[in-house]
Amino acid sequence: MIGEEQKAFYKNWNTLAAAAQAGDKRAYSTLIEQLIPFARSVLAGKLAELDWIDDVVQDALISAHKALPTYQVGRSFKAWFTAILYYRKTDYLRKVYARKNHQTSSFDELIEKNMDPDVTIPTHIAEYDHVEKLLEQIPQKQRDLFILARIEGYTAKEVANMKNMSESAVKVSVHRTSKKLKELLS
Amino acid sequence: MTNDNDIADKENEALEHNRSARLDVLSKHLIDSLQPRRPYYAAVTRFSISIAVCAVYLLLLNLFMPMRTSMINEDMFQVDIVLSWGIGISALYAALALMVPCDTKEAVKRIILPSVLAVVFLAWTFLRTYNDLAHEHNYMMMYSFKHCFWDGLIFIIAPMVLFIEFARRGASTAPTLLHIMIVLSVSGFGWGCLRFSCANDEPAHVFIFHFMPFVATGGLSVFFSRFLFRSI
């Protein structure tokens, strides 16, 4: 999704949010369905563990639900929700660090915990650039599916709906692209 | 093809099931509990209500507390009033915008004007107080009219209650900034009103008895902003 299509996609959130304020459950359901992958993709590069991302998304959805009347119809819902998301992220990290203040982890424990490969570590930036370049070698259609499912965080079902494909075809394509990338990297 | 399909299915299902299960339950609960709700007043509406309430409150107080309206012709007095009420109005507008979730860029944009005016006001007040204390100062005058702090509290009580009520109904993502803006707004309004009601124009008196109590009380209360305004 790029350019105009993306703008229209986010603009539709304004309409859905206004309808949700009026009590339209269908509109609210659609909105939440679209907000979850968006929130995950926003947080993906900013939090170290996938569990944390889901915790923050949960908190943000609850906060957005409570604060829904404060959304001003006609203004950007994306900006409104993103502000809540960042606020919740900061709040969550504050609690995590306060909890972990007196705990220590050994290097072995960190490896065992299998650190999230999505997090950008400054010293690994060159490697991420390399992966991005390799992605350019994958055909456009497969690349788009891979980006939506693995980078932007949409589920296979959501990608299938967006692209008018079967869910299974999406999964196979994403799997093959992963395999191909692994081969290219090795 | 079938083998590939199976592996991909298992791989994706395991990943997605763990990540989505909790969120699915929450989404369902949120959707089920959705009720039609009246939208929060727009910032312009809240601004108009606030200004109207402040103006009516000031007019009512005028019946009980004599105001020196003739002072408005004096240059120094005009600068004081323009600065203090300028801070009050611009900080109020910023506070009203910060009462709903807004991004950092927008928040920074809103607080620029009140912050600049507050810095100018501080410089102006310090300069006059310094000049007053360094030369020709009458210390007896400075300590007269010590009831000013309590008069100031009377001036700010209605706007303060209204602004706090607006803030509590909102959902701020910048509670500390919001608190600072409310303190600035209420202080600016109260300080300006005190200039009308208090007959002592000594800069040192104005600084110590009109300005410092607001700064001290407001400054201390900022530490509690997360508990006062955190409704999100």
User: In this predicted model, what pLDDT tens digit does every residue of A146-167 receive, in sequence order?
Assistant: 888 888 788 888 888 888 888 8
Residue B72 and residue B99 share a domain: yes
For helices A167-185 and A125-135, the axis angle rounded to 10 degrees is: 120
**Which residues in chain A are closer than 8 Å to B35, comparing Cβ atoms?**
23
- Asked if residue B152 and residue B73 are part of one domain, the reply reads yes
Hey, of A70, A72, A87, which one would you mutate to test binding to chain B, going by the most B CBs within 10 A of its CB?
A70
Count of domains for chain B: 2
Q: Tell me, what's the pLDDT at A153?
A: 80
ipTM of the complex, rounded to two decimals: 0.75
**Dihedral pair phi/psi, residue B213, rounded to 5°:** -60, -40
Lowest mean pLDDT among A24-38, A77-91, B89-103, B123-137: B123-137
Q: Radius of gyration of chain B from Cα atoms? A: 25
pLDDT band at B114 (very low <50, low <70, confident <90, very high): very high
Taking residues B52-74, what's their average pLDDT?
84
B90 shares its domain with B123: yes
**Alpha-helix residue ranges (DSSP H) falling in B65-174:** 75-98, 104-134, 139-142, 148-169
Model pLDDT, residue A12 = 86
What is the domain extent for residue B22?
1-37
**Do B25 and B95 fall into the same domain?**
no
Task: Say whether both B116 and B224 belong to one domain.
Answer: yes
Claim to verify: residue B67 and residue B32 sit in the same structural domain: no
B120 and B51 belong to one structural domain: yes
pLDDT value of residue B6: 65
**Quick check: B28 pLDDT over 70?**
yes
How confident is the model at residue A83, as a pLDDT? 93
Is B196 a residue whose pLDDT tops 60?
yes
Residue A24's alpha-carbon distances to A37, A131, B23, B30, B65, in angstroms, are 21, 43, 20, 12, 53
pLDDT of residue B1: 47
Can you tell me the mean pLDDT for B7-17?
Answer: 61
- The pLDDT of residue B9 is 64
Domain annotation for chain A: domains and CATH numbers = 3-100 (1.10.1740.10), 120-185 (1.10.10.10)
Q: Which of B207, B8, B4, B142 is nearest to A171 (CA)?
A: B8
Q: Which two tokens mark A186? A: 């090795």
B116 and B207 assigned to the same domain: yes
Mean of pLDDT values over A38-57: 86
User: A78: which chain B residues are within 8 Å (Cβ-Cβ)?
Assistant: none
Q: Are residues B50 and B83 in the same domain?
A: yes
Percent of chain B clearing pLDDT 70 (strictly above): 84
In this prediction, residues A45-70 reach a mean pLDDT of 88
Distance between CA atoms of residues B18 and B23, nearest Å: 10
The reported pLDDT for the residue numbered B53 is: 93
Which residue do the tokens 């990338």 mark?
Answer: A181
Instruction: Kindly determine whether residue A84 and residue B42, on different chains, have CB atoms separated by under 8 Å.
Output: no
CA B173 to chain centre: 14
Nearest in space to B91 (alpha carbons), one of B51, B151, B148: B51
Residues B123 and B16 in one domain: no
Output the furthest CA–CA distance in chain B (Å, rounded): 97
CA distance B186 to B89: 9
Is residue B7 pLDDT above 80, yes or no? no
Question: pLDDT tens digits for A65-87?
Answer: 999 999 988 888 999 999 999 99
Say which range, A45-54, A110-119, B34-43, B99-108, has the weakest mean pLDDT. A110-119
- Is B199 an interface residue toward A (CB < 8 Å)? no
Nearby residues of B54 by Cβ (< 8 Å), 6 or more positions away: B158, B159, B189
Looking at the structure, tell me whether residues B27 and B83 fall in a common domain. Answer: no
Do B115 and B164 have their domain in common? Answer: yes
- Chain A positions touching B106 (Cβ under 8 A) are 79
Buried b / exposed e across A22-33, counting CB within 10 Å, b at 16+?
Answer: eebeebbbbbbb
Please tell me chain B's helix, strand, coil percentages from 3-state DSSP, rounded to the nearest 5: 80, 0, 20
Predicted pLDDT of residue A114: 53
